Amino acid sequence: MTQGINSPFRYAGGKFYARKLILDFIPKHNSYLEPFAGGGSIFFAKDKVSSNWLNDIDNELINCYMIIRDNPELLIDNLKDEKATKERHTYYKKEYKPTNNIERATRWYYLNRTSYSGIMNMVNCYWGYGEKYSMRPENWSRNIIRTSEKLQGVNITCLDFEKVISEVVDGSFLFIDPPYYNAAQDKFYTHSFTKEDHFRLCDLLKKNSKRIKFLLTYDNTEDIKELYNWATGIHEMEWNYTINRTDDQKKTNKKTEKEKGSRYKGKEIFIINYNIEPLEDYEQLSIDYNSILQIT
């Protein structure tokens, strides 16, 4: 089995901090699918199984995944002399015009590693790199290589979620992390998710519920709870995490102690269509960001 690693990307709305909670919920399986892969934090954290499938509607993200899987050395070569500077960020964002898929992946990777919170919607894709806490360009090649190794043999597609869920083999386990129901998602993502899409997803999962197992993560809203009242379980989850001045830089150079180590709470619901053994302690997961700075 391939050892768990961290996601190669920074991704708005990703599940990096909730990984342990989510992994504890996952049942045994031989076929795995993420219809909304995004940064893929759960796929990269868990062991690979016989069949692995990552899908996302964002074609630039998927192109970068495919280049990392199939041609990592070409991407590394394109990035080998790069420096993380605001000027280069502006260049890749506004001036650089890719002419092939390798160059598309180069642009996407550079901007993702140097933008505020990994936001890739160009309207809100701002410089957000911090020399002390961000992954430095000299470490990007190692990041790409280990990601490529994990992606070998993985099916990677850029399709509508309905197609992949409908086609996944019986008995598969799906980790499903769609955009929040109540969120200004247009600020973060290049492809929006409408209310109709949320309803379509619910109908699709209900239709396929007897042949697949799924763990669906959502913002904790009464609308979603009502929408999925047919599911086996709806668990209210909460986890703590501490951020000690990440590369999401503030404008002021002076930091108070509170700003240096701000505490946040992740609050969501986990919706499942299978029975699980009671977990002893899943209410809160506390993470010290100092221990994971090297991968942000």
What CA–CA distance (Å, rounded) separates 27 from 233? 14
Distance from first CA to last CA of the chain, Å, rounded?
25
Q: How many domains, in total, are found in the chain? A: 1
Highest-confidence segment of 104-108, 126-130, 178-182: 104-108
227 part of a folded domain? yes
Domain that holds residue 29: 19-295
For the cut 60, the answer to whether the pLDDT of residue 42 exceeds it is yes
Within a domain: 165: yes
Taken in order 292, 293, 295, 296, the sign of the CA dihedral is positive
pLDDT band for position 240 (50/70/90)?
Answer: low
Q: What is the four-CA torsion angle of 206, 42, 193, 123, rounded to 10 degrees? A: 180
Q: Is 11 contained in some domain?
A: no
Residue 284: its pLDDT value, please?
A: 41
- % of the chain at pLDDT higher than 90: 64
Nearest residue to 147 via CA among 49, 65, 77: 65
- Spatial neighbors of 197 by CB under 8 A, at least 6 apart, are 178
For residue 13, what pLDDT band results from cuts at 50, 70 and 90?
A: low
CA distance 93 to 80: 19
pLDDT value for 296: 35
- pLDDT class for 266, splitting at 50, 70, 90? low
Position 6 in a domain: no
14 within a domain of the structure (yes/no): no
Mean pLDDT of the region 242-257: 44
Tell me, what's the pLDDT at 146?
97
Longest Cα–Cα distance in the chain: 56
Burial of 56 (0-12, 13-18, 19+ CB in 10 A): buried
Q: Give yes or no for residue 190 having a pLDDT over 90.
A: no
Rounded CA gap, 225 and 268, in Å? Answer: 11
Q: Encoding tokens for residue 179?
A: 């955009």
Q: 271, 233 in Cβ contact below 8 A?
A: yes
CA–CA dist 54, 168 (Å, integer): 11
pLDDT on residue 253:
47
Predicted confidence at residue 28, as pLDDT, reads 95
CA separation for the pair 40, 262 (Å, rounded):
25
Least confident range of 63-72, 153-162, 271-280: 271-280
Q: How far is residue 215's CA from residue 273's CA, in Å, rounded to a whole number?
A: 7
Residue 90 vs residues 42, 82, 190, 211, 247: alpha-carbon distances, Å: 31, 13, 18, 48, 17
pLDDT number for residue 133 = 75
Which residue shows structure tokens 């086609």? 167
Q: What is the mean pLDDT of residues 53-73?
A: 97
**In the beta sheet, which residues pair with residue 237?**
268
Q: Where are the beta strands (DSSP E) in 6-48?
A: 31-34
Q: Is residue 166 part of a domain?
A: yes
Burial of 186 (0-12, 13-18, 19+ CB in 10 A): middle
Give the residue-averaged pLDDT of 275-284. Answer: 57
Rounded CA-CA distance 160/291 in Å is: 36
Residue written as token pair 């396929």:
208
Q: Tell how strand 31-34 and strand 51-55 pair up.
A: parallel
Confidence check: pLDDT of 245 > 60: no
Residue 63 lies in a domain: yes
Within-domain flag for 73: yes
Using CA atoms, how far apart are residues 26 and 174, in angstroms rounded to an integer? 9
Q: Which two tokens stand for residue 113?
A: 């590693």
Q: What is the CATH number of the domain that holds 107?
A: 3.40.50.150
So what's the pLDDT on residue 292?
34
